[in-house]
Amino acid sequence: MKDKREQLLEAAKELLWEVGYDEMTPAMLMTRGSAGQGSLYHHFDGKLGIAQAALEEVSKAEIAAIDELFRSSVDPLACIERYLQSPRDPMKGCRLGRLLHESVALDRRIREPIERYLSHVEDHLAAALDKAQKNGQIRSDVDLRHVAAALLACVQGSYNLARANMQVSKMSHSLGGAISLLRSLQSPLLPAARKRKPHARKSAKEFAEATPSRTRLRRRTPK
């Protein structure tokens, strides 16, 4: 059974993802965490304190998941594509990145776990690209750090496009474009042993069409 501190932390993780920091209130935390005011202020230094602790745990969990994803493939380019095609909820946004749009992100305590996660993802992308370049899979003239940053920005930006237009398909189109960009960087003459089978991966077009192009989600009516 979870203690009150764990219950409050789980509540904070859920609320930060669902409504963000600005909309999250102590009352919501206590209700969701089945805890009283005494427990909240005994374990944490107010709203900022519990948000920081929750984001530290989320950051660690997301970093562990990314480590596992990039550890599980010998083909670096296929691994990058699997990252781009990972299941995501575009309307809820990135569990960490979405908070960068709020004023609280100016606080170093909130920003650090977010920055740590994003930097970790970018490092994995750059390392995979470097491995692919050394394998002769990517052209030698490609700036790997720039491409890694662009791929990460594409993932984070795809959340904004989907939310701004209330269309899930905006994310799939954006990430399908990122896959096309990645494939355009590949060396024109790959050794036969390194060529992939046509059915091994979804094409960028298939990925972009995975969600209906005009899918729309209704906007919530304020209560």
pLDDT digits over 88-129, tens only? 999 999 999 999 999 999 999 999 999 999 999 999 999 999
pLDDT band for position 25 (cuts 50, 70, 90):
very high
pLDDT digits over 180-220, tens only? 999 999 988 655 444 444 445 555 556 555 554 444 444 44
* Residue 7 CB neighbours (<10 A): 19
pLDDT value, residue 122: 98
Angle (CA) 106 20 163, round 5°: 105
What are the residues whose beta carbons fall under 8 Å from the beta carbon of 78, sequence distance 6 or more? 196, 200, 201
Please report, as a single letter, which amino acid is at residue 195.
Answer: K
C-alpha atoms less than 13 angstroms from C-alpha of 104 in its C-beta half-sphere: 20
3-state secondary structure of 220: coil
Over 80: is that where the pLDDT of 162 sits?
yes
Between the CA atoms of 211, 216, 222 and 223, what dihedral angle is there, to the nearest 10 degrees? -70
* Domain locations along the chain: 1-44, 56-208
Q: Residues 59-75: what's their mean pLDDT? A: 92
pLDDT band for position 61 (cuts 50, 70, 90):
very high
Please report, as a single letter, which amino acid is at residue 177.
Answer: G
Domain 56-208 listed as CATH 1.10.357.10: yes
**Long-range Cβ pairs for the range 106-115 (8 Å, 24+):** 107/48, 109/48, 109/52, 110/21, 110/48, 110/51, 110/52, 110/55, 113/52, 113/55, 113/56, 113/58, 113/59, 114/55, 114/59
What are the residues whose beta carbons fall under 8 Å from the beta carbon of 131, sequence distance 6 or more? 76
Q: Residues 52-58: what's their mean pLDDT? A: 98
| Predicted structure pTM score | 0.82
pLDDT value, residue 218: 44
1-44 homologous superfamily: Homeodomain-like (1.10.10.60)
3-state secondary structure of 143: coil
Over 70: is that where the pLDDT of 139 sits?
yes
Q: Residue 127 in contact with residue 175, Cβ under 8 Å?
A: no
Percent of the chain predicted with pLDDT > 90: 78
Q: Do domains 1-44 and 56-208 have the same CATH topology?
A: no
